[in-house]
Amino acid sequence: MLSLPLLLLLLWGVVSHGFPTVTSETQEQDVEMVQNYLEKYYYLKSDGKPVVRQRNNSLVSEKLKQMQAFFGLKVTGKVDTDTLNLMKQPRCGVPDVAQYVLTDGSQWDHTHLTYRIENYTPDLPRAEVDSAIEKAFQLWSNVSPLTFTKVFEGQADIMISFVWGDHRDNSPFDGPNGNLAHAFQPGPNLGGDIHFDEDETWTNNFRNYNLYRVAAHELGHSLGLSHSTDIGALMYPNYMYSGNVQLSQDDINGIQAIYGPSQNPVQPTGPQTPQVCDRKLTFDAITTIRGEVMFLKDRFYMRVNPFYPEVELNFISVFWPNLPNGLQAAYEVSERDEVRFFKGDKYWVVQGQDVLYGYPKDIHRSFGFPRTVKSIDAAVSDENTGKTYFFVANKYWRYDEYKQSMDAGYPQMIAADFPGIGHKVDAVFQKDGFFYFFHGKRQY
């Protein structure tokens, strides 16, 4: 039986990353972008000089190491590919600090706060803007003693506006993408205010930038929170939309450290972000995809690529925006370049990052399962035989991918035909001719 960290090590490869080979023009743009990024988010002092190009600049190296450590990258102090790619992601305009850092004055001295929307974006109807902002406030009031009241005139604790470019707060916006919005810590004047970049396209779905998602993040700053290193936290600096805006346990811990617990009789809890090296980590599903291995857990995937030394952790919706969270089983049919994902009695088929038209479909009609089967626990397709194994409770079915029908004589008992792995399978995948079975914390 393998431990999870050992299994991941067996799947890893090691490769060095260097600055990308690009044209001198593009490279110059990247160098300028790196310097601007470090100046804005990590307080690099350059006095207007192009310090990133200077050889052996210890200050630049230290700032790069600080940034790489914050985002969980390999700490090299150099501008490698992963660092550059992360810097190019859209994000909040507030500098990065730590998970949640409490500083003097970083909280309101009263818990009944007011807010006012000074103007509206033309991207959405006014009612939808109002709804997005109201829901963002509700997220935080649900887990704290804070209450929020909308006012329509005069000065409010939190003033909300849509602006662009240099809007006279010493934090100019940079046009489409990049810096999406920013907010100020609690206090007088600009304190608590939220500014959205009007050069962005604001939406109420997964396209472009979801206003509710960004507003909820910025409001965390307005209440006194800094950025989190937890990729699953709402207060993570880079924009990610998982389809379900919610506070993680890290967010809840942060806001309650400032203002205390909610007044609700039952204290709310939030989802935890999986820790890759946690020996107690369990998985909902595992599949191969084009030579890589993907481990699925709640709303996250962990991807193991033989050409990268780190396990990638991200939201499922980042890779597949049209797939739901909480997928229960998955398997690859490599001959068709397809991966099939299962949740409940529905399944989706993807090629690369595209969900094929017409999905989800019903597992009973497509595969011939009896109506008593409500969901699939695990699935794997044997690339050598074209046989797919579906595990449900203590039984399994065998499906012929060539004939597109269930084999006769099934279901059979798991324990009888797969001795040594127990009576139930939570996840399974095939790699290099071997099957890897998972049940709870155990891997076989």
**Annotated binding residue at 194?**
no
Q: Please write the tens of the pLDDT for every residue from 281-331.
A: 889 999 998 888 899 999 999 887 766 667 788 889 888 888 999 999 999
Q: Any known ligand binding at 362? A: no
Quote the pLDDT of residue 309.
64
- Residues 359/347, Cβ–Cβ less than 8 Å: yes
218 is catalytic: yes
User: Residue range 130-139: average pLDDT?
Assistant: 98
The domain spans of the chain are 18-87, 112-259, 285-443
Catalytic residue among 62, 128, 153, 218, which? Answer: 218
- The band of 61, judged by pLDDT with boundaries at 50, 70 and 90, is confident
Is 98 within any annotated ligand binding site?
no
| pLDDT tops 80 at residue 51 | no
Q: Was domain 112-259 assigned CATH 3.30.1360.20?
A: no
Calculate mean pLDDT across residues 248-263.
94
Tell whether 330 is in a known binding site. yes
CA 195/CA 218 separation, integer angstroms: 9
Which residues partner with 434 through β-bridges? Answer: 431
Q: Is 191 annotated as a binding residue?
A: yes
pLDDT category of residue 270 using cuts at 50, 70 and 90: confident
pLDDT at 104 over 50: no
189 annotated among ligand-binding-site residues: yes
**Is the predicted pLDDT of residue 3 greater than 70, yes or no?**
no
Q: How far is CA 363 from the centre of its chain?
A: 28
Residues 18-87, CATH architecture? Orthogonal Bundle (1.10)
Residue 112 pLDDT greater than 80, yes or no:
yes
Is pLDDT at 195 greater than 50 in this prediction? yes
Q: What is the pLDDT of residue 13?
A: 39
Q: How many CB atoms lie within 10 A of CB 181?
A: 26
* Averaged pLDDT score across all residues of the chain: 87
Across 64-73, 194-203, 271-280, which has the greatest mean pLDDT?
194-203
Residue 191 pLDDT greater than 70, yes or no: yes
Q: Which residues contact 373 (CB under 8 A, 6 or more apart)?
A: 345, 363, 364, 392
pTM, whole model, 2 decimals? 0.81
334-344 confidence digits (pLDDT tens): 889 999 999 99
User: Looking at domain 285-443, does it have CATH number 2.110.10.10?
Assistant: yes
Predicted confidence (pLDDT) per residue in 213-230, tens digit: 999 999 999 999 999 999
Q: Does 235 carry a binding-site annotation?
A: yes
Model confidence over 156-166: pLDDT tens digits?
999 999 999 99
Residue 55's pLDDT band (boundaries 50, 70, 90)?
low
DSSP E strand stretches across 204-271: 209-210
SS3 content of the chain, % helix, strand, coil (to 5): 25, 25, 55
Q: Tell whether the model's pLDDT for residue 22 goes beyond 50.
A: no
Query: Is 382 marked as a binding-site residue?
Result: no
**Is position 110 annotated in a ligand binding site?**
no
The predicted pLDDT at position 6 comes to: 44
The predicted model gives 251-275 an average pLDDT of 86
More confident residue, 116 or 82: 116
